[in-house]
A and B are shown apart, each in its own frame.
Chain A
Amino acid sequence: AQTVTQSQPEMSVQEAETVTLSCTYDTSESNYYLFWYKQPPSRQMILVIRQEAYKQQNATENRFSVNFQKAAKSFSLKISDSQLGDTAMYFCAFMRGSNYKLTFGKGTLLTVNP
C-alpha cells in the first residue's frame, strides 16, 4: 500500500517570501503521479500542481514549483512570492499510474501573514 507523509502540520510565512512544504511517500510502483492540492476555507480541493514520475523535469506552475527527488521519494512544494490568498491547507497526494484512487497526506496548514 502507498503512504504519503507530510511532516509539517502547520507553517507560516510572511507575505512576498518563499516557503517550502515537505512531502515524502512510500511505494513500490514505478509508474505513478504526485499532486499538490490546496484547500482554502471554502473546502474545495484545488489542484495546484502535478508531477509524472517518469518525468525528470520538475513541474512548475507560475509561483508554484516542486522539487521531485524520485530516489529519495520526496516531493516538496515551493511557493514563491507568497500571497495572502495562499493561506490554506495543502495536501500532497499520490496516484498509481494504473489506478484512479488518490492517497492523501494529512495536510499542512499554511498561513501567510501580512
Chain B
Amino acid sequence: GAGVSQSPSNKVTEKGKDVELRCDPISGHTALYWYRQSLGQGLEFLIYFQGNSAPDKSGLPSDRFSAERTGGSVSTLTIQRTQQEDSAVYLCASSLVGRPAPGNTIYFGEGSWLTVV
C-alpha cells in the first residue's frame, strides 16, 4: 500500500476484554515495529519484526501483550485482559530494512487509539 495502515483507528473496550490491533505495512518493507504512546510514558518500543527472524519482544510490558506477523506482511498486536493502564495510542511502523542506512526511513501509521474503561 501507499502507507502504513492501521485498524481500528479508535477502540473503546471494557476492562478485562481482549483486543486486537492490526497493522498493514508498506509493501516490500521487511522490518515492522510497534510502539506505544501514552501520556505518562511517552513513546515506547514494544516489538520488532525483521523478515523471518525471531522477533525482538524486549519492549512488551507484560505477558498479556503478544504480536505476530503473518507471511512477512500484516501484523496483529493482541492485548489480553486489558487494564486501564493499557490505554494509549499504539503506533505501527515499517521500513525497508531494520537498520539505519541511507534512504532507509521508518514510516509510521496513524495509530490505533485504545481506551480501556
Residues of chain A whose beta carbon lies under 8 Å from any beta carbon of chain B = 33, 37, 42-47, 50, 52, 91, 95, 97-107
A103 CB to nearest B CB, Å: 8
Contacts of B48 in A (CB 8 A): 100-101
A9: min CB distance to chain B, Å: 12
B81 within 8 A of A: no
The digit string for B29-69, where 1 denotes a CB below 8 A from any CB of A, is 00101010000001101001010000010010000000000
Q: Which residues of A contact B79 (CB under 8 A)?
A: none
The answer to whether B108 and A46 have CB atoms under 8 Å apart is yes
Residues of B within 8 A of A103 (CB): 45
Selected contact of B99 from candidates A46, A99, A102, CB within 8 Å: A99
A42-B110, A97-B100 known, 17 other contacts, Cβ within 8 Å: A37-B108, A44-B109, A44-B111, A45-B108, A47-B105, A50-B105, A95-B100, A98-B99, A100-B31, A100-B50, A100-B56, A100-B98, A100-B100, A102-B45, A103-B45, A104-B42, A106-B42
Query: Which of A44, A45, A95 neighbours the largest number of chain B CB atoms within 10 Å of its CB?
Result: A45
The 7 closest A-B pairs by CB, nearest first: A45-B108, A104-B43, A100-B98, A44-B110, A43-B111, A33-B100, A101-B45
Cβ distance B60 to chain A, nearest Cβ, rounded Å: 13
